[in-house]
Amino acid sequence: MQGLVLQLTRGGFLLLLVLFVWAVLRVLRADIYAGSGLRVPSRQSAGKPRLGLLSRNKVARTLIVTQGALAGTRITLSSQPILLGRADDSTLVLTDDYASNRHARISPKGNDWYVEDLGSTNGTYLDRAKVTTAVRVPLGTPIRVGKTVIELRP
């Protein structure tokens, strides 16, 4: 009886050790691949207007992750396209199991930005509509890639 209790105790400690190592590796992976940038609040206050309702003459200057593991990450936009996915060479590396390696691309055309799905498994959504071709992205409109939601802001 004492041998059985000892074996169960050893098994329990081994399981706890494996779970601890897994948690540490997950945190390290998130820290290593997290996009650089400032943190911003993920919720808007009730009194402020939605950015999607602002006039069209505003130009997108930043891309902000509003939901997901990288919530609060801010990327300053330039003339280069933004690649979203789990691949290491993506502009925004997503730590999301529902994102593909090369999931979507957000690219500029003049003052407007367009999102296109790159043949991902789970799809890319602009607001609630599935993206099948390059679609113009209005300011403040959520783009969902797996569990990650991003928005263009002035």
Q: Which of 139, 136, 127 is nearest to 58 (CA)?
A: 139
50 vs 64: CA distance, rounded Å: 14
Mean pLDDT of the chain: 83
Domain co-membership, 145 together with 98: yes
Query: Would you place residue 116 in the very low, low, confident or very high pLDDT band (cuts 50, 70, 90)?
Result: very high
CATH number at 90 reads: 2.60.200.20
Domain co-membership, 95 together with 147: yes
Query: 40-57 pLDDT, tens per residue?
Result: 344 444 444 454 444 456
Residue 92 placed within a domain: yes
The sheet that has 143-145: what strands, in order across it? 74-76, 62-67, 148-153, 143-145, 124-126, 129-130
pLDDT at residue 2, rounded to an integer? 87
Domain co-membership, 93 together with 149: yes
Residue 44 placed within a domain: no
pTM: 0.62
120 vs 132: CA distance, rounded Å: 10
Query: Would you place residue 149 in the very low, low, confident or very high pLDDT band (cuts 50, 70, 90)?
Result: very high
pLDDT at residue 135, rounded to an integer? 92
Those residues with Cβ within 8 angstroms of residue 59's Cβ, 6 or more apart along the chain or in another chain: 111, 154
Are the CB atoms for 73 and 37 separated by under 8 Å? yes
What's the domain count of the chain? 2
- Residues pairing with 150 in the sheet: 65, 143
Query: 81-104 pLDDT, tens per residue?
Result: 999 999 999 999 998 888 999 999
Residue 134 placed within a domain: yes
Residue 14 placed within a domain: yes
| Mean pLDDT value across residues 46-72 | 71
Note down the domain range covering 21.
Answer: 1-29
Residue 117 placed within a domain: yes
Query: Would you place residue 26 in the very low, low, confident or very high pLDDT band (cuts 50, 70, 90)?
Result: confident
Query: Would you place residue 105 in the very low, low, confident or very high pLDDT band (cuts 50, 70, 90)?
Result: very high
